[in-house]
Amino acid sequence: MSNHNNKFFNTFICFLLLWILFGYNPQSTFSANEHIDLENKLENYMLEHEGNVAGLATIVIDQGEIIYKMKGYSNIEEQHLVNENTVFEWASVSKILIWISVLQLVELGMLDLETDIETYLPNNFRSKTKFEDPITMQYLMHHTAGFDDSYTDLMIHRSTKKSSLREVLEEADIKQIFPPDEVVAYSNYSSGLAAYIVEEVSGLDYREYVRKNILEPLQMTKTAIDPEQDDNKWVKERRKEVQGYSNTLQLIEPNFYSIPMYPVGSAMGTATDLQKLLQALLAEDGAPLFKDKKTINIMFEPTLYYPEINIPRVANGLFYLPSKSQHVYGHGGNSKAFSSSFYVDRKERIGVLVLTNIKDESTFTAGIPEIIFGEYEHGENEEKVENSSQWKGIYEPARLPRHGFSRVYGLFLRSKTKQNGSHDLMVNDLKYSQLEPGIYRTEDGFSIHSLDLYSHHPQTKKMLSNMYSDLLYVPYYKHFLEWGGIILGLFAILFSLLCSIVTIFRRIWNKKHLHLLLFTQHILNLLVFTNILWIVYKASSMVSYSFLKPFLTLNFVYIVITLINSGFIIVKIKVKILSKYKKIVWIMTIIFTVILCVNILYWAFYY
């Protein structure tokens, strides 16, 4: 009996050793090798592109293992290296705090995602809604509430007043253009409105709510969300040490702006502080952000899909990143001089954050996530490919100002789609290959920009959809008429400039009589053009809309004076005997002046 037991024991020990050698160790070694390989890829990529970086901090969490990389300078001029105390602006990555706050309140039963948001807003709140259809919190999270955008008051340099979130939302130059749940148009206003609802439901100022329910539980002591960083003096002082740069590493001056609608983009802090948020979102139970494990899992489940296609688009405010695993969600961000990205794959337990002090940066903010998560791989399908010619045309983002003078900016954001072969497309200069009907992919850009999905929309006809916005079809006649009007307006200015120079020259050298009405009109045309250029320049410099009002009013004054002056010119043409040449000049002056007035009225360059 003893001998039998001894043999059994020896057999058990041999089996245990074999399991340890072949069942456990190789798996651990393989995982370690994968981690090292990933770190090497990341390091090689950063070395390959180190000439494109000002300052960079990136953190990757892979199954609990952390890769932390810092490159470049927080201040190139003073040669300050990026370190653990370097403060970066999160920009729109700040919105993740809004959606966490919303789901915390949902978890507590204080908020419902499918209820009309009017339920949570004060009765006297000045709403921007136009349609009778209700707006739900889910629509705000999906950016489908139908609001347009505004490029004024988004960021203010040296703000002279600090308004409450409610005041900012009520004063915002925003309109509801589309019925709810019809068009995806990325909206800062929608996100800001969601943050205000957090205030109303919780009874706490949004800054206080985030500090109490997110920052303090995660011990994020080096992060501020106030537009002036008054909630964290350490961050405020450290931000003064950091500079922002263009893609060509030129210093952007000034590069620090206050964001009045602060929940949508004002958060800033160190990379190691943001790492704590990344770790919390990767945690199995979601603690300490959520009390119930179900909530953190729900947060990363898709809630919006691309139209007519079973590809995820949004998960409770977080955008789907096309990747190899196909369950990566997060957010990117751009401010006046900083760029960021923050993505999480809970199923694979991988997360990545990238922070840079470069404006509109994508080499690292888009390139690093692609390395970490892998390129998108489309599943096999048996559908026959479509003739891609049906998608030819011109498209513009739904996310645009649809009123006011800044809507002219949409002209420069339009993209042209052409057929490439019988089944593929060219969008601007990028080649898109057809994966299946309605789904096209490019290998000429990062994963974040890789998928374009086309569909038929009942109101807008053809529609192109990508990560942050739908693109609406623009009829050719409208596109050419709008550009034609702009070009004719420029010809009008050149004509007035030439006529003014000739008139002045003839007056000085030949003592020719000055036709005062005609000369006045040409000078007015040049002055109004100068004023428009000034408005565009100041708007791009992020001044407030109130600052621009006097200059916009001047354009209206120009129209009134021009109508009166043109009336006198028309009378003069009828009663005065003019040579054929002079008559043509006088008539062309009237025509070009009308063209300028039409442009000002059409593009709303007046107040």
Residue with structure tokens 């789609």? 417
Residue 460 confidence (pLDDT): 75
Q: How far apart are CA 58 and CA 356, in angstroms?
A: 9
Residue 26 confidence (pLDDT): 43
Nearest CA to 366 among 386, 352, 384, 379? 352
Q: Is the dihedral of CA 266, 267, 271, 275 positive or negative?
A: negative
Span 257-314, pLDDT tens digits: 999 999 999 999 999 999 999 999 999 999 999 999 999 999 999 999 999 888 999 9
Residue 160 confidence (pLDDT): 67
Span 488-544, pLDDT tens digits: 999 999 999 999 999 888 888 876 677 888 999 999 999 999 999 999 999 888 888
Residue 29 confidence (pLDDT): 37
* Window from 89-103, 243-257, 337-351, 374-388 with minimum mean pLDDT: 374-388
- Reported confidence tier of residue 14, pLDDT bands at 50, 70, 90: low
> 563-582 b/e with 16+ CB inside 10 Å = b?
eebbeebeeeeeeeeeeeee
Q: How far apart are CA 189 and CA 176, in angstroms?
A: 11
Evaluate if residue 208 carries a pLDDT over 80.
yes
Q: How far apart are CA 302 and CA 311, in angstroms?
A: 9
Nearest CA to 385 among 436, 419, 426, 454? 436
- Reported confidence tier of residue 369, pLDDT bands at 50, 70, 90: very high
Q: How far apart are CA 266 and CA 359, in angstroms?
A: 15
Residue 403 vs residues 107, 411, 531, 603: alpha-carbon distances, Å: 38, 13, 20, 8
Query: Percent of the chain having pLDDT more than 70?
Result: 94
395-421: average pLDDT: 93
Sheet holding 223-224, edge to edge: 88-89, 268-269, 223-224
Read off the tokens for 446: 């990062």
Q: DSSP characters for 461-485? A: EEEEE-SSBEEEEE-HHHHHHHHHH
Backbone φ/ψ region at 219: left (φ over 0), alpha (ψ -120 to 50), beta? left
* Window from 27-41, 118-132, 349-363 with minimum mean pLDDT: 27-41
Residue 591 confidence (pLDDT): 96
Read off the tokens for 64: 């609990």
Nearest CA to 280 among 290, 271, 270, 272? 290
Evaluate if residue 598 carries a pLDDT over 50.
yes
Question: The pTM is what?
Answer: 0.90
20-48: average pLDDT: 69
Residue 30 confidence (pLDDT): 38
